[in-house]
Amino acid sequence: MIERVDFCCKYYSDFTTIELFLNDYIVRKVGCFMNERIVVVVPVYNLESFLSRCIDSLLAQTYEDYEIILIDDGSNDGSEILCDQYVQKYPEKIQCIHKPNGGLSSARNAGIDVANGKYIIFPDPDDWVDRNYLQQLMDLQMQYSPDLVCIGYNIEFDNTCIPTNLGQKRCIMSKQEAQKALFFPPYISGFAWNKLYQLDIIRMHKLRFLDDVGITEDLDFAFRYLQYCEKVVFSPEERLYHYYQRQGAATNSRFSYKKIESIKTYKKIIAVAEDKEIIQASEEEICNTAINLVCDYQESHLKNEKIWNEIHQYLGQYLKSYCTSQRYGFGRKVQAILAYYMPKFYVFFKKQSNKKV
């Protein structure tokens, strides 16, 4: 490489021309990271005790061309103050937007609206990342030029860590393969924090995170984004994101109507999907969600006939599909039948099973 540059320099008569040549050479051969800014959008709502760990891990990145946008979604626990303190300390790297509480989707959309870069990613405020999180995402982007980059992650508990996608290797997928991988191996997952999205695609197709899809807003967004992709790269062995499972998190909490709204995502996928296995998997997920909701509702002691009928109807509508599933075992299928025909006995059975564990 050095010999070639030296050889070429002999044909240039002045320093300015040589400088232009070298710059062009770097752009073409090294991929040049100029104008390759990553916008990191962190939605924040009342997580003051976890927030510093998240932001500090983002500030420690080896990749340089990135900006952190903290979206304070109406916090009142001190998170809003902490956000401002970080902005004051790192004004060249962090900005903060304070807005009334509107939910996770609203916060992420606010980040999309002000993002000034080429790529965007959405870490959660109670998680953390490795130092080469952004660098590895960008390396994969430069190497393969995909429309979407996905990486692996670790599931973190207070006393243990569970790595995901063990034994799986890097792969390149088409749109259809990637959409299928939201449900089947290699399991790219629907999460927004292990995917490097392109802002041009998001804005060209007016993609937004939706408010009426419960706790599956990430999956809904990913599936719709993939509709406009030709190539996706997934590197599961790059487990650079740490997904913390805390008590009381939205995905772990008891009954809420948002969990029923999550079913809308799967119904939309069923309506547009061409792959029969994706349709089958979506039907199974509706039934699986309804099974869990039976327990949540019964234990909540709510007396709302409309809500109960809605849950029961979803369970019955997709029970046959669930019982023919290749993804769920015999025991879970028995639970599905019990939940539909004998819901109170099913809840009692679950409680006794949990006591034994």
**Cis ω for the linkage preceding 236 (within 30 of 0):** no
| Cβ density class 238-262: b for 16+ within 10 Å, e for less | bbbbbbbeeeeeeeeeebeebbbbb
- The two structure tokens encoding residue 324: 């023919």
Supply φ then ψ for residue 101, to 5 degrees: -60, 125
> How far apart, in whole angstroms, are the C-alpha atoms of residue 57 and residue 132?
10
Check pLDDT > 80 for residue 14: no
pLDDT digits (tens, 9 = 90+) for 153-174: 999 999 999 999 999 999 999 9
* Tokens representing residue 217 in the block: 């807003």
Phi, psi of 152 (to 5 degrees): -85, -175
pLDDT interval class at 301 (50, 70, 90): confident
Token pair 């994969």 in the structure block, residue: 140
Domain at 38-244, CATH homologous superfamily: Spore Coat Polysaccharide Biosynthesis Protein SpsA; Chain A (3.90.550.10)
Res. 309: pLDDT tops 50: yes
Reduced to 3 states (helix: H, G, I; strand: E, B; else coil), residue 153 is strand
Q: Strand ranges (DSSP E) for 123-206? A: 128-129, 148-156, 161-163, 171-173, 195-198
Rounded alpha-carbon distances, angstroms, from residue 260 to 153, 214, 307, 319: 27, 7, 9, 16
Give the residue, 27 or 347, on which the prediction is more confident. Answer: 347
Give the pLDDT confidence score for residue 246 in this predicted structure. 78
Give the C-alpha separation, 15 to 244, whole Å: 54
Q: How far apart are CA 110 and CA 45, in angstroms?
A: 14
Confidence category of residue 189, pLDDT binned at 50, 70, 90: very high
Sign of the CA dihedral 308, 309, 313, 319?
positive
Nearest residue to 86 (alpha-carbon basis) of 74, 73, 76, 72: 72
pLDDT band at 182 (very low <50, low <70, confident <90, very high): very high
Query: What's 36-71 look like in SS3?
Result: CCEEEEEEECCCHHHHHHHHHHHHCCCCCCEEEEEE
Res 206 pLDDT > 60: yes
Distances (CA, A) of 213 to 144, 262, 279: 32, 5, 18
In the structure encoding, which two tokens stand for residue 45, read together?
Answer: 């709502």
Mean pLDDT of the chain: 89
User: Distance between CA 90 and CA 182 in Å, rounded?
Assistant: 37
Distance CA 226, CA 59 (A): 29
pLDDT score of 351: 82
Note the helical H segments in 171-304. Answer: 175-180, 199-204, 217-226, 257-261, 263-272, 276-300
pLDDT of res. 23: 46
pLDDT surpasses 50 at 124: yes
Residues 335, 331: Cα–Cα separation, whole Å: 6
Write out the H or E segment, with its range, that includes residue 243: strand 232-244
Q: What's the rounded Cα separation, in Å, for the pair 190 and 181? A: 9
177: number of Cβ within 10 Å? 18
* Chain segment 224-261, per-residue pLDDT in tens: 999 999 999 999 999 999 999 977 555 555 788 889 99
**Does the pLDDT value for residue 315 go beyond 70?**
yes
Band (pLDDT 50/70/90 cuts) for residue 131 is very high
Reduced to 3 states (helix: H, G, I; strand: E, B; else coil), residue 345 is: helix
Tell me the per-residue pLDDT of 76-113, one tens digit each, with 9 for 90 and over: 999 999 999 999 999 999 999 999 999 999 999 999 99
Distances 355 to 244, 335, 346 between C-alpha atoms, Å: 25, 17, 14
Q: In the chain, what are the domain boundaries?
A: 1-30, 38-244, 257-356
Q: Which of 119, 109, 45 is nearest to 82 (CA)?
A: 45
Q: Comparing 6 with 158, which gets the higher pLDDT?
A: 158
With residue 112 as reference, give the H or E element that holds it. helix 104-114
pLDDT at residue 1, rounded to an integer:
41
Residue 253 or 114, more confident: 114
Lowest mean pLDDT among 31-40, 103-112, 121-130, 200-209: 31-40
Query: How much of the chain, in percent, has pLDDT values that exceed 90?
Result: 81
Distance CA 192, CA 213 (A): 15
